[in-house]
Amino acid sequence: QRKNPFSSDDRLASKPAHTHRGDPTYGRPPEGSRTEQRGKEAHSHVGKEVEELCLIIRRTGQVGEDGHVSVTFGQLFETYVTISNKVVGILLRARKHGLVHFEGEMLWQGKDDDVVITLL
């Protein structure tokens, strides 16, 4: 509609053109929008859940010879599932940020109960 010469909608004409991959605003909501605010709130909430997960690992795990605290996925799942049912997603986020380490791409209850999760 922005390129349509017959469009009389002024709101469309005032919007910026599409951004491209190199642009710092690419894939981001407009500054000051409600979408941007919701994204910031969600990011903050997930960050708090990652912190809580790390605290639980520290409390329930055992300190190894290397000085790192480790816990099995089964033990962590049983402890953390009463707090949040998103334990696997939070673990993946924590690994992405370099806070924990475990083998494999995904953890499944039952199948991966013996996988060791190490708090870095």
pLDDT in tens, 49-69: 999 999 999 999 999 999 999
pLDDT surpasses 80 at 5: no
69 secondary structure, DSSP code: E
Question: What is the pLDDT averaged over residues 68-97?
Answer: 89
d(CA 50, CA 55): 9
Query: What are the φ and ψ backbone dihedral angles of 90, each rounded to 5 degrees?
Result: -70, -40
Specify whether the CB–CB gap between 78 and 110 falls below 8 A. no
In this predicted structure, what is the pLDDT of residue 9? 61
Domains of the chain and CATH, by start: 34-119 (1.10.10.1540)
